[in-house]
Every structure is written in structure tokens, then in C-alpha cells.
Structure 1
Amino acid sequence: MAQFPHALWRANQMGSYQGAVMASGYSELDQELPNRGWPRSALIELLVQQSGIGEIQLLRPALARLARTRRIALVQPPHSPQIAAWSGWGLAVEQLLWIRTQRSADALWSAEQILRNGSCGALLLWQSHVRSESLRRLHLAAQGSDTLFWMIRPLAGAQDSSPAPLRLGLRPARAGITIDIVKRRGPQCDQSFYVRLDEMPASFSTSALPGLPGLLRDATLDRRVSAVITARNLSAALV
């Protein structure tokens, strides 16, 4: 193996991805990720303690770069996208694609089609319960694309096995978020680390989060209903 030093991975070394990565925009996070960024062509799981703790804010730098030229797909978000907040972040509203379905199976189908047709630069999929075979299908589809793919699930899902090469546990912290590396291609990370999130403009609509007084709120989603598209009709697509 001395002739092929890069073919041998040691458990105390940070692994790497064969595909491209995109910097997260947070140095504290990048230094804990293989290749120092979000991997493309892979399933990334964000396991959140509860919705709205800053998970979208964490993705904001990557989404802002992608939205300059490509669409951002939101599949089955827990609340309706708040267009004013996205605009306040400098994200082109015409680049957002919102899909809401009646059944979880349709949401998974929609996500797989987005990955396979390469129509979007980023895909965010919210799911509470996902079967292992569905995770494998999505990860396989992601590997054949150049899409940044985040699946947002409850933190309790960290106990389940997953083919995702990167899994992060997210918990609220004052003015930021605490991250646990559940899984990565690299040495085990036993220590949580803190990422400070930028303050949001006052024009953002922030709703109170029970049990989180004084913490940063995630304003990219609200409860107002606007036009949506149905699964299996992606051409109608844009919100």
C-alpha cells in the first residue's frame, strides 16, 4: 500500500469525497467536514431537535450561491415558504420551487425525480419517517446528480441506520446552533461544536418557538398558505 498512499484510509484521518463540495460558509462547520464543505452527489441528513431552530439559516450561504443560476427545490416543508424572507436574503424568488404532496410516497417520488433530471442545484426534503430502502434509492439517485441534497428529519432518527455519508444533529443554541457529527467519512467526533448564525433582518417574519425564548428564529418558512404544485406535475412548478 506504500505505492498507493491515497488508496488507504486510516480511522484517525479525515475522509474525502470523490465528487465536488461547496463550502458551507461557516468555518467552524467546514473544518469538521471532509473536503471542507457540503458534498454534492450525496444524501446529507440534517437531524433537527425541532423545526425552525436555524437549520435553513445554516444552509443560507450555499443556497444563495446556488440560486444565482439554478433552482432550489423545497419538498414537503413543514410550513409555507415565506417569499419576503427569501427575498430579504437576496435569493431570487423565481428560482424557488415548492412541492407539497398529500402522501409521503409522493414526496419521495418527487425528490427522486428532481435528483434524476438534474433540474435543480439544491433539494431540501422534509420527512418524519423514512424506510431504509427509500433512503437507499434517494442516495443512489443523488450519486448520479450534481445536486446538493439535504433531507431534514427529526433528531430521533439519529438512532436509525442510513446510507447517508454525512449526518448532522442540530440543536438550538443562543444566537446560533449546536452541531453533533452523527456520521461522516472521518474520525468519530465526540464533541459538539457551536456555529453562530447571522442576525436576520428585522423585516423577516419570526414566530415564537415554544421553549426557545431569546433564541434565533428561523424565518424562511411561515404558516401562510400560497399556491403549491402537486407531485407528478413538476412542469407547473414555480412559486
Structure 2
Amino acid sequence: MTQLHLPADRTHERHRLENRYPGIWRASQLAHDMAATIHTGYIALNQELPNAGWPLGQLIEILIAQFGTAELNLLMPALKRLDHRPVALLAPPHIPFASAYQQDAAEAVSLLWIAGTKHSDHLWSAEQILKNGSCGALLLWQKQIKTEVLRRLHLLAQKSQTLFFVIRPMQAAQSPSPAVLRIALTPKASGMQINILKRRGASNEAPLFLYTNDHPYLSSRVIEPLRQSVPDSPLGLSRQDQQKQTSIF
């Protein structure tokens, strides 16, 4: 198949427009602009996300079949990069295992754990945290939440630099959402499978496997052969985040 090349003047004009209007990108590209992001801790995942990281001040959805099985293992590397700003866990499915957040004093995570029993209390708390802006991250677990509520939370998040995740059941993929990024997360024997359902820019239907070097559900009898057969860095955690995976709940 013959590849078409733009004339030099048209290529120059395209680059000029892209530099002048960073919020505009071609359909074949990932979005690229000046929006702030934070490193996910996973090299392969960064390469699939606009601006190479989790977006700050935006609604991100993590869809998972069973709460508490993989979402915090996915997010922990980023939570440890928040310069000790508190991380709010709102209506988590289990009592947080505090020691897992304090393993390394240099990367210790300060927790704000909010249990609550009423759906309305969860939403009110989420709004107050986003309005206040003092937390580095907000993780909200919700089995059912209306699209208009998500839209309101998204608008509040945009006025902050909070890393904001809503964790929902997998079947929520069939419902509309204002989230700029939606990810389906599936725990696997030696890591996690990621399916990017929505992102700013070109779509990607291919699953992404993230290998975790110390997966909490594997014994040393299983993990040692995996360590010998899997490369040190390209597919999974960045080097500084290897050896740091643990059971969170």
C-alpha cells in the first residue's frame, strides 16, 4: 500500500496549527494539550493515555466486576506521587489496610477514610472534597449513580487539581458518562488487564496487560518463574514502582 506524504509546506502548516491550538488533534492521534497529568506508574499505560498520565481535575471511571479486587493495585503508584496530599477513600467496599499505605516513609499516603451508609451522604461528601481541593485524590465507589450527578461532580473536579476516580460496576459501560477517561479493569493471575473504553483521541480496542512484579494473590512459588520470564520494565510497572505492589484492602 502506497503511503501518501504531505508536501513540506502543508506539513509545516499542520505543525503550526497544532502548536497554536494544542486542544485540537487529528482523529488518529491521542489528545495532547497543556492539561496536567500524573504518571500512572505503568509505562505501557502512560503510552495509551493523553498527555501520558492520569488527568488531574477530570472525572475518570474505573469499571470492574467486583469491587476491591484490583483497582487500588492499579492506582497506588499514582497515589504515592501526590506529595503527601491526603487521599480520600469514599464508600470503599472494605476497611482499608492502613499499613499498605505506609510501607515507605518517603512515599507514605495520608488517608481520609469516609464510610457512610447513605447514597446522598456519599455524593455530598464528594462535592465538598472537590470544592475544598485539599485532597490530592478522591476515590468514590458507587454501584449506581446518575449521569447528571456524574456531570456535576465532573464540573466540580475541573475547578481543582484533584485526581478523581469513580469506581463503578462493569455493567455501567452501557450507560453514558461525562468522564474523559473510562477504563475496564480485570484482575489476572499475574497482573491486570486494561481495556480503554473511552479516551480523548483515537480509540483503542486492544486490551493492555499490566504485569505486577509482586502481585498480592500469588505465592513466591508462582511468582519466581514469572520474574524470570518477564522483562524488567516495558510491559508493567516503571522501575521505581516494581516491588511495591501489596494487598490494599
Q: Same fold (TM over 0.5)?
A: yes
Alignment counterpart, residue 190 of structure 2, candidates 164, 175, 186: 175
In structure 2, the partner of 1:111 is 126
- In the alignment, the residues of structure 2 paired with residue 168 and residue 119 of structure 1 have an alpha-carbon distance, to the nearest angstrom, of 26
Structure 1 residue 128 and structure 2 residue 156: aligned?
no
What does the per-residue CA deviation read over 1:177-204, in whole Å, with 9 as the maximum and x for residues that have no partner? 00000000011111111001231579xx
Q: Does 1:220 align with 2:234?
A: no
Task: Supply the distance in 2 between the matched residues of 1:97 and 1:10 (Cα, whole angstroms).
Answer: 41
Q: CA distance change for structure 1 residues 18 and 132 in 2, over 3 Å: closer, same or farther? A: farther
Task: Give the aligned partner of residue 5 of structure 1.
Answer: 18
Which of 151, 154, 157 is residue 139 of structure 1 equivalent to?
A: 154
What is aligned with 1:159?
174
1:81 aligns with 2:121: no
Report the more deviating stretch, 82-91 or 153-162. Answer: 82-91
Tell me: CA distance 1:200–1:172, structure 2 relative to 1, closer, same or farther (3 Å). Answer: closer
Q: Does 1:57 align with 2:85?
A: no
One-letter amino acid of the structure 1 residue matched with residue 62 of structure 2: L
Question: Which residue number in structure 1 is paired with residue 36 of structure 2?
Answer: 20
* TM-score after normalising by structure 1: 0.80
How many pairs are equivalent? 205
CA–CA separation in structure 2 for the residues paired with 1:171 and 1:218:
17
Question: Where does structure 2 lack aligned partners over 5 or more consecutive residues?
Answer: 1-12, 218-244
Say what the alpha-carbon RMSD is for the aligned residues.
Answer: 2.1
Of 54-63 and 159-168, the range deviating more from structure 2: 54-63
**Structure 1 residue 89 displacement after superposition:** 5.7
Which of 204, 212, 224 is the matching residue for 1:189? Answer: 204
Match for residue 43 of structure 1? 59
| Post-superposition offset of 1:50 | 1.4
Using CA pairs under 8 Å that are at least 6 residues apart, name the structure with larger relative contact order, 1 or 2. 1
What amino acid maps onto 1:37 in structure 2?
Answer: G
Task: Tell me, yes or no, if the aligned pair for 2:73 and 2:246 is still in contact at 8 Å.
Answer: yes
State percent identity of aligned pairs.
Answer: 47
2:96 paired with 1:96: no
Larger of the two Rg values belongs to structure = 2
Contact 1:72 1:121 in 2 (8 A): yes
Contact preservation (8 Å) 2:37, 2:55: yes
- Is the deviation greater in 76-85 or in 30-39? 76-85
Higher helix share: 2
Equivalent residue letter for 2:157 = A
Q: CA deviation at 1:104?
A: 1.0
Give the Å deviation of 1:114.
Answer: 0.5
The change in CA–CA distance for 1:201 and 1:165 in structure 2 (over 3 A counts) is closer
**CA distance in structure 1 between the aligned counterparts of 2:135 and 2:167, rounded to whole angstroms:** 17
Q: How far apart are 1:40 and its partner, in Å?
A: 0.2
Task: Say which SS state the counterpart of residue 205 (structure 2) adopts.
Answer: coil
Q: 1:117-162 CA deviation, whole Å, 9 max, x = no partner?
A: 1110111110011101100011000000001011111111111110
What secondary structure sits across from 1:115 in the alignment? Answer: helix
Unaligned segments of structure 1, at least 5 residues: 203-216, 222-239
SS in 1 for 2:136: strand
Query: Aligned to 2:127, what secondary structure does the other structure show?
Result: helix
Does the 8 Å contact 1:46/1:170 carry over to 2?
yes
